[in-house]
Amino acid sequence: MMRLLALALCVQSLLQVDTIVHRILPMALAKPDFGISLPITSSGKVSLAALGARTVLEAIDDNTPFTVEANYKGLQDLANIVVSVASMTVNLGSELVPLVTSLVSDVSGDVTTVFATVFTKIGDIKTAIGTQLPTAIAGMKALFKTHFDSEGLDYIPNQLTDGFNRIVLGLDDLNAKLQTLKKGIDDAATAAGSVADLTDPLVKKFVKPAYVYNVVFAINQLKAYLPVVKYTIDSTLENINLADDYLLLVSQALQQSAGTTTQSISSVKTVTDAISQDVKTGLNGYASDFSNMQTEIGSFPRLSTAADIARINSALGSYSAAFGTLTTTRYPAMDTHLQNLIDAMTNALAASSTPGQITSDLLDSLILTVIENGKYAQFCFNKYYGLVFGFLTSLGDSAGLCFDKEIPRLQTLQDTLVTAREQLLADFEYIASELAVCDSLTMQAKLDECVLALSGFYTSLSTQFGLKLQFIFDLIENETAASTNRFLICIELVKMNLVEITEANLMNDIRECALDGPTADD
């Protein structure tokens, strides 16, 4: 019973194979084609080869379109360029395959026209490759230069150029083999007198089976050139996807630690804002007091008659000029220095002012390494992504010590500025009462003598006042710069505690890995 069942299954299998063979053989056997009404041996194999090539061709854009999720510079643009190359390849190839299969089945008798259609399309495809591919490559190079300051390591452009150069060679070979086949048909028609007078013996004499097999080989060869283009497209998109997934993880981790970082920077800004407010409130008050004092001095009845009153007015003018620089230059410069400190702290922790984006030279190095699709792209990415992740995501939480050091120092600066500012008041607060003594003198000679004696002191005092005022703003500038450097030193040491290598060296190691691959001693 089991033997009968096995025999039945075997017979059924043979019948299925026979059915498949009978479906395929008509395509492979001789039949009227290539523009004539007589059969050419094995012409159907050309159609089979063309259809097989189409299957490989249509797989080139299997992984497109592609949309990135992380809002990171250049990723979507690069994906779009790669997708455009895939679409170009599929579209151009899809235009050629139907023309080849139509050529095989054509019995119109117009051999020149039906072959010319294929030859023209081959030329059009080569022209399209020669124009569209360089445009895509130029776009990639510009993208890497603009977003990553990278030039020369043209891995993707070189891979695409290599792949499409082979496709162009394959198209040239297919064109040549079809030309040979057409010449055989033309020679047979010439011997017969016309295409209509062709006979089987003449076709067999002039149209050698090798001509058809050479066309089949050329198509199969062209098909064999397609996978490397698909590899470049797929591997680039795969690497973009790796980068995209990684960036999402980094972004999530940064969001978790963003609260701590934001709070720390906010604490610093509270102090810097207080410094700015204290300085402006105090000095604006002094400026107002001085203005009122000048008005009072101007009301003295006899003072203006003194011989050297111009020297007094000049000294008072120096005070006024010093106060006049506050709103025009000194306050804006002070606010800039204080903001520079905040910006330096923010940048040191790789925080971005653009929502949803991450900015970091170190991260750029890693992302560039994987998306440029060099031969060590994924190896180097996997080798270093954990270290980079540690730098970017652990730094915010570990940098609290650096903030804890600088905030008290800035508060000391705030207190020091109050003391320094109070020293200014003594330089002008008694000028009105002092000049009132001169104004009270009834004898002109005594008045002149009094004004002359005081004017020299006021001239010197106004100069010292200006220097002390300058000192206040110099102190702010110098201390904010010092605070910036102290903070950055602290951050670098924190980074080295996280990973025993400097950020700059890690960036260099990543790029060296991308260029040279694995080493045994790093």
**How is residue 258 written in tokens?**
């963003």
Note the pLDDT of residue 354: 41
Q: List pLDDT tens digits, range 55-92.
A: 998 899 888 788 999 889 999 999 999 999 999 999 99
Distance (Å, whole) CA 80 – CA 30: 45
**Residues 490, 417 share a domain:** yes
CA angle 14, 20, 21 (to 5 degrees): 85
**Residues 279, 146 share a domain:** no
Are 388 and 362 spatial neighbours (Cβ–Cβ below 8 Å)? yes
**Residues 114, 201 share a domain:** yes
Residue 228 lies in a domain: no
Residue 18 lies in a domain: no
Residue 143 lies in a domain: yes
Which residue, 147, 182, 207, sits at the end of a domain? Answer: 207
Mean per-residue pLDDT of the chain: 87
Residue 484 lies in a domain: yes
Longest Cα–Cα distance in the chain: 150
Residue 85 lies in a domain: yes
Q: List pLDDT tens digits, range 224-256.
A: 999 999 999 999 999 999 999 999 998 888 777
Res. 124: pLDDT tops 60: yes
**Residues 264, 159 share a domain:** no
**Residues 379, 455 share a domain:** yes
**Residues 153, 275 share a domain:** no
Mean pLDDT lowest for which of 87-101, 191-205, 411-425, 486-500?
Answer: 486-500
Note the pLDDT of residue 384: 93
Residue 62 lies in a domain: yes
Whole-model pTM? 0.64
What's the whole-number mean pLDDT along residues 495-511? 78
**Residues 407, 272 share a domain:** yes
Note the pLDDT of residue 150: 87
Which residue, 177, 192, 207, sits at the end of a domain? Answer: 207
Domain that holds residue 422: 252-519
**Residues 446, 312 share a domain:** yes
**Residues 314, 197 share a domain:** no
Res. 349: pLDDT tops 80: no
CA distances from 336 to 212, 273, 329, 372, 410 (A): 79, 12, 11, 39, 16
Q: List pLDDT tens digits, range 324-341.
A: 999 999 999 999 999 999
CB burial of residue 21 (10 Å; 0-12, 13-18, 19+): exposed
Note the pLDDT of residue 359: 61
Residue 400 lies in a domain: yes
What's the whole-number mean pLDDT along residues 442-451? 94
**Residues 169, 52 share a domain:** yes
Distance (Å, whole) CA 20 – CA 17: 5
Residue 240 lies in a domain: no
Note the pLDDT of residue 152: 80
Number of domains in the chain: 2
**Residues 409, 311 share a domain:** yes
**Residues 195, 278 share a domain:** no
Distance (Å, whole) CA 18 – CA 399: 76
Res. 16: pLDDT tops 80: no
Note the pLDDT of residue 500: 60
What's the whole-number mean pLDDT along residues 180-190? 93
